[in-house]
Structure 1
Amino acid sequence: MAGAEKHYVMPRATFEAPVKLAIVISPYYRDIADNMLAGATAEIEASGGSYEVVEVPGALEIPTAIGIAERLSNFDGYVALGCVIRGETTHYETVCNDSSRALQMLGLQGLCIGNGILTVENRRQAEVRADPADQNKGGGAAAAALHLVALTRKWGSRRKGVGFVPDAEDYKLAGELKDNPTA
């Protein structure tokens, strides 16, 4: 049984300078969301960080809100929290796949995101995974975001904006030669 398995949990990330995260949450299942939020906020506070909570209607809106926040705010990282429970239609697959894919794309562009969107078969599975005293997936998502922020700070300075940003010397105008810009 998977619930009885033990897994390794990394030591809590530490920081020399303050960390601020945005927790973007869909409260579609309010009790599940509240439990995940409790786990996330406890983990952020334990690391000495601060946070702002942003609510959106559903899991599909979470990546969009994170993208907007990255362009218009000053967060170091993001925690995505929500819950998708399988229903009778294929909408479940669409929401699970698209929200996960969008978060992954933002992450590959350099955003520090902890994905805590539960994708479960039934309410009981969601309750177990959301419970801060049990699996604490909200806290796990916050810890993941914090570890990515720590890694980003370790490897270099933060660049603002989503996407590839080349070094200034990499910018070239059409028609210029690399070694002889006046030729």
Structure 2
Amino acid sequence: MASSETHYTLPRAEFDKPAKILIVVAPYYKDIADELIAGAIAEIEAAGGFHEIVEVPGALEVPTAIGIAERMSNFDGYVALGCVIRGETTHYETVCNDSSRGLTLLGLQGLCIGNGILTVENYEQARVRAESKGQNKGGGAAAAALHLVALARRWGGARKGVGFVPAQDEYQIAGASKGKHSA
């Protein structure tokens, strides 16, 4: 059983300025989602961060909501939460694979995302993984997002107010040499 295994956990990420984290949750299994959220909030607050929560219809919509928030808001990082339980059809594989792929692609674009979308065989597995006093996968997803935010801040430049963006010299206008922008 996975709960008897021990794993190394990184020390909690530390910040000079608070991190602003968006928790995007698909509450299809509401009690599981509530436990995941509780774990995520506790981890964010323990690191001195702030959070907002938005709900989406299902796990497939989580990456889209994160992509919209990244384009239209100023969050430092994101926590993706939800639960997909295997059923009798291949829908399970589609939802698991595509939600994970969407989050991975966003991460490869530089977004700081902790993936806490549970993919399990049955409700009991979900319950055990979601419990904030147990395996606390919501807290683990928040910790992952916070560690990525810390890396982004280490390698990026400061933003106005709360949050950070990549250093300005990373952007290049087509046809212009790096560091020079044509009007």
Where does residue 174 of structure 2 map in the other structure? 171
Is 1:138 matched with 2:138? yes
Distance in 2 between residues matched to 1:52 and 1:107, nearest whole Å? 19
The answer to whether the 8 Å contact 2:80/2:117 transfers is yes
Match in the other structure for 2:32: 32
Q: Which structure has the greater CA radius of gyration?
A: 1
Q: Distance in 2 between matches of 1:109 and 1:159?
A: 12
**How many Å apart are 1:3 and its aligned residue?**
2.0
Give the unaligned 5+ runs of structure 1. 179-183
Runs of 4+ off more than 4 Å: none
TM-score by length of structure 2 reads: 0.89
User: 1:8-87 to 2 correspondence within 5 Å?
Assistant: 8-87=8-87
What is the distance in 2 between the residues matched to 1:44 and 1:23?
10
- 1:54-94 CA deviation, whole Å, 9 max, x = no partner? 00000000000000000000000000000000000000000
Q: 2: CA distance between counterparts of 1:153 and 1:129?
A: 30
Q: Per-residue deviation at 1:18?
A: 1.5
- Could you say what secondary structure the match of 1:60 adopts? helix
Report the 3-state secondary structure (helix = DSSP H, G, I; strand = E; otherwise coil) of the residue aligned with 2:28. Answer: coil
Aligned residue-pair number: 170
Aligned to 1:96: 96
- What TM-score does the superposition give when structure 1 sets the normalisation length? 0.89
The Cα of 1:156 is off from its aligned counterpart by 1.7
Asked if structure 1 preserves the Cα contact closer than 8 Å seen for 2:152 and 2:166, the reply is: no
Gap regions ≥5 residues in structure 2: 158-164, 179-183
Letter in 2 for 1:146: L
- Supply the AA of the counterpart residue of 1:167: Y
Q: Distance in 1 between matches of 2:63 and 2:149?
A: 18
User: Following the alignment from structure 1 to structure 2, what is the Cα–Cα distance between the partners of residues 46 and 167?
Assistant: 34
How far apart, in 1, do the equivalents of 2:82 and 2:14 lie? 26
> What amino acid maps onto 1:115 in structure 2?
N
Q: Aligned partner of 1:171: which letter?
A: A
Structure 2 Cα separation of the partners of residues 166 and 40 of structure 1: 31
- Per-residue CA deviations over 1:139-169 (Å, capped at 9, x if unaligned) read 0000000000000001122149xxxx9533x
Does the Cα contact within 8 Å between 2:114 and 2:144 map onto a contact in 1?
A: yes
Q: Which amino acid aligns with 2:147?
A: H
Q: Which amino acid aligns with 1:96?
A: C
Q: Percent identity?
A: 71
